[in-house]
Chains A and B, each alone.
Chain A
Amino acid sequence: DGGITQSPKYLFRKEGQNVTLSCEQNLNHDAMYWYRQDPGQGLRLIYYSQIVNDFQKGDIAEGYSVSREKKESFPLTVTSAQKNPTAFYLCASSFDHLTYGYTFGSGTRLTVV
């Protein structure tokens, strides 16, 4: 089954700690994306990557970092610099960044305690 997998589903972090969210896809998609969703709100783009070893900032990149060393993987690190990290994080992929639609993962809910 082709798809996109996010792990873990739930994550708790202490203030001041960095944490990395995993996103893996076996769809052979070139483009991958990270979105953040707050309760009752829409999706906001954090970072996206069109090809391996290249990525661009989205609208709310501050306090986050990403890497794209492999086509299949696009991990997101939430750093201690992110002032309000508690949110639902969604990873997505597409064949290329201008051809929709996207395939989304099931999300990771991050809670800072």
Chain B
Amino acid sequence: LAKTTQPISMDSYEGQEVNITCSHNNIATNDYITWYQQFPSQGPRFIIQGYKTKVTNEVASLFIPADRKSSTLSLPRVSLSDTAVYYCLVGDNTDKLIFGTGTRLQVFP
């Protein structure tokens, strides 16, 4: 049963790059890694998804090492509006879908 581990919280300042790492030691061969962002009292919003190496979109980058046992979400030049909870999601081979504990990112002026 795949599980994920993330830091509980992180602080940053506007304009800085933020890297959030997710550990998923039991990731299955066919699983993808997906990150979501959630603001208070809202549903999570899809940020980025990857399988291996590096994926980049207009919002973030996702770095996945060769062994795929971890992944790092990179947010370039964060702003106050990036203050949110970030979840790492991986599949597992028992068909149960598990969210990580989530990382609460606080961006300061």
Residues of A within 8 A of B (CB): 33, 35, 42-45, 48, 56, 58-59, 88, 90, 92, 97-107, 109
Residues of B within 8 A of A (CB): 30-32, 34, 36, 41-46, 49, 87, 89, 91, 95-102
Give chain B residues whose Cβ lies under 8 Å from the Cβ of A104.
43-45
What distance in Å separates the Cβ of A39 from its nearest Cβ neighbour in chain B?
A: 10
**A43 in contact with B34 (CB, 8 Å):** no
A101-B36 contact, Cβ under 8 Å, with A33-B97, A42-B87: yes
Q: Closest residue of chain B to A103, judged by CB? A: B46
Q: Is the interface of B mostly helix, strand, loop or mixed?
A: loop
**A42 in contact with B100 (CB, 8 Å):** yes
The winner among A33, A58, A102, A109 for most chain B CB atoms within 10 A is A102
A106-B99 contact, Cβ under 8 Å, with A98-B91, A100-B34: no
**B43 in contact with A107 (CB, 8 Å):** yes
**B43 in contact with A105 (CB, 8 Å):** yes
Q: Is the interface of A mostly helix, strand, loop or mixed?
A: strand
Kindly state the separation between the CA atoms of A103 and B43 in the bound complex, as whole angstroms.
Answer: 9
Kindly state the separation between the CA atoms of A33 and B98 in the bound complex, as whole angstroms.
Answer: 12
**B96 in contact with A59 (CB, 8 Å):** yes
When A and B form their complex, which 9 residue pairs have the shortest distance between CB atoms, in order from nearest?
A104-B43, A101-B46, A100-B34, A43-B99, A42-B102, A101-B34, A90-B43, A104-B44, A42-B99
Q: Closest residue of chain A to B100, judged by CB? A: A42
